[in-house]
Structure 1
Amino acid sequence: MVLLSMRRTQPASMAMARAAARSGPRVGRTLRFEHAAQMGAVQLIPTHNLGGRSFSSSPVTGLLTDDKIVAASPAEVADQALEAASTIDYASVSDLGFGLSDLAIRSLDVIHSTTGLPWWATIIATTVAVRTVFFPITVVSMRNAAKMKLFQPDMEKLKAEIDSNPTQNSETAQEFQKKYKALMKKHGVNPFKSVLTPMSQIPVFLGFFWGLQDISKYFPEYAHEGIGWVSDLSAADPYMVLPILSSALMIASVELGGDAMAGEMKDKLKFGMRFFAAIMVPLTMNFQSGIFVYWVTSNAFTVAQSALLRVNLIKRALNIPVTEVQRLETASITTTTPFEAAVSRAKQGTVVKTHMYKPTKK
């Protein structure tokens, strides 16, 4: 038994919070101590001018009337610290609002509580469910993209017709706009539908990205319900398997889904996406493993979806135009390049005499 010379100086909650912070696990939680009032916060007082502390069992002279001698063994101090740590109150799901991250956490909680799946499987199941809900929007975008490819030859002919017109003025531009809108109406094309998929996926992506970073505040067991080498979903993948796999699946989805693009834009977008996927590995390797479980699942869903939608039978079932057999050869489209136009004008002008060698002045 050790007698400590102490003085009551501060609230018990502050002392126990510091003790719990030194000995307990580091967690971003709101600390609430229900039994802290039963314990007195203490501070050791100096017994000489050198600022030392008194650890003697003999009485200390000069103590004020409110000073007390508290007897405590190391075991009792440890028990009191554990009792205080056990009263940590985690944030409640009922405190969530309806922001993007809050909705993501709520959806994960619904799947987890109804299925009883571990958290790694809950993330996968929720991701597949959300992507399935948005599948009709993807079909609408792909249907519009296929119609755009059918619309492209007529569009090229219209551009060639306008470019060949020697008079370029506001009336010509208005005529082009009028014919362009008529072609779009004829083919049932709407440029806005082409961006439906990315516009609908961005809020979902941000919601899960932010939500999975904060979900351990509401469910402490989330950190320990990983799988394989990523047992802690709140920590980074120690072997970088998930970051590499996520980037590889992203590249695969770009290669499979590139047919929906057209012309030069297709090559530029595919190159940009390949580059972006490559640099994502070093930029995101320290992200939580739970985030990568979501990304890998989402990218794998995209790859499978793109592979299925390349099958003509499935396309016809979803009313997506099959464009492979309906492509027109580019040779049949009479377009005039700037060089060809210059050559044509040169043929119509006066002949300029040229020489193989520089003539000598006489």
Structure 2
Amino acid sequence: MKLKHLAVMFVLLMLTVLASACGMNQEPITSESEGVWDHFFVFPLSWMIIQTAEILQGSYGLAIMVMTIVIRLFLLPLFLKQQKSSKAMQKLRPELNELREKYDMKDPDDQKKMQQEMMQLYQQSGVNPMAGCLPIVIQMPILMAFYFAIVRTEEIATHSFLWMDLGVPDPYMVMPLLAGAGMFVQMQLSTRNMPSEVAGQMKIMMYIMPIMIVGAGVALPSALSLYWFTGSIFMIIQTLMIQRNERKAEQSEAEAVEIK
């Protein structure tokens, strides 16, 4: 995951937290809720949470966890496409850097020539520089809608899970701390195979985002901390599996080269 993608995630997190803290349209969501956003995005996810809870004998905590996993699995192909695009761009980075050094960025003519050569390089390599942005743009409304479905589903606020009342902050701060720790581990794993300069740029964000999660979890209903924690655990497992498969693929390629 590139720096700009994590920056988008950070902005998205801040927007959703601020929206909840400021009371942005937190009226209970129902089938009668009007507007494209409420009717076609938030309500269907709220309905799915309720139906899942009924299947799980009324456990809204388990329903949030199950729905979080289902949504992450649904978004997995987009994530993999984003990862593939990021890897392709990383392979082109040395050549792109050479082009930037070749031309004078202050000269408009040189800038135009550099952009033309970059486009030729992208075409020859079969890389679309915008391909990494599209998946995250598609993910945004789904993740935001699920966030607001949790906030605005009235039934969640009246139920408990483990030691928590889902409608109020965790009194022991356990779940916010777990969510923050999960986010920290997730980001550390995400930067493991990144170039050192990119990992260095992400270092500040690696600490700010978990702190944001903990701070939000202390102030907002514990149902949201449970959602963030479950999402982080899923992403940790997903990242570990992807990195393991990448190592196996690299090892297979190295063995194939040795045989030749």
Q: Give the TM-score of the pair, scaled to structure 1.
A: 0.54
Residue 162 of structure 2 aligns to a residue whose secondary structure is coil
Q: CA deviation at 1:279?
A: 3.9
Partner of 1:226: 160
Residue in 1 that maps onto 2:83:
142
Shift of 1:249: 0.8
* Deviation for aligned residue 1:286: 2.2
Q: Deviations over 1:70-99 (max 9, x none)?
A: xxxxxxxxxxxxxxxxxxxxx894434525
Choose from 199, 209, 216 the match for 1:266. Answer: 199
Amino acid at match of 2:162: G
* Deviation digits for residues 271-313 of structure 1 (CA, Å, limit 9, x no counterpart): 2232232243234302111111111111111111111111135
2:211 to 278, 286, 298: 278
2:130 paired residue among 189, 192, 195:
192
Shift of 1:155: 1.3
1:178 aligns with 2:112: no
Q: Deviations over 1:216-244 (max 9, x none)?
A: 2xx3xx445433211x2112101001111
State the one-letter code of the partner of 1:209: Y
> Is residue 29–residue 46 contact of structure 2 (8 Å, CA) maintained in 1?
no
Q: Which residue pairs with 2:44 in the alignment?
A: 103
Aligned residues: 222
Partner of 2:243: helix, strand, or coil? coil
Aligned pair 1:158/2:158, yes or no?
no
Q: Which runs of 4+ in 1 moved over 3 A?
A: 91-94, 113-117, 168-171, 222-225, 259-266, 312-316
Provide the aligned C-alpha RMSD in A.
2.9
Match of 2:144 among 191, 206, 210: 206
Q: CA deviation at 1:314?
A: 7.9
CA–CA separation in structure 2 for the residues paired with 1:253 and 1:92: 31
Cα gap change, 1:242/1:275 in structure 2, threshold over 3 Å: closer, same or farther?
same
Q: CA deviation at 1:176?
A: 1.3
Contact 2:60-2:161 within 8 A present in 1 as well: no
8 A Cα contact 1:236 1:287, kept in partner? yes
Higher RCO, 1 or 2 (CA under 8 Å, sep at least 6)? Answer: 2
Unmatched 5+ stretches in structure 2: 1-27, 255-260
Give me the whole-angstrom Cα distance separating, in 1, the residues matched to 2:126 and 2:177: 41
Larger radius of gyration: 1
Q: Report the counterpart of residue 255 of structure 1 in structure 2.
A: 188
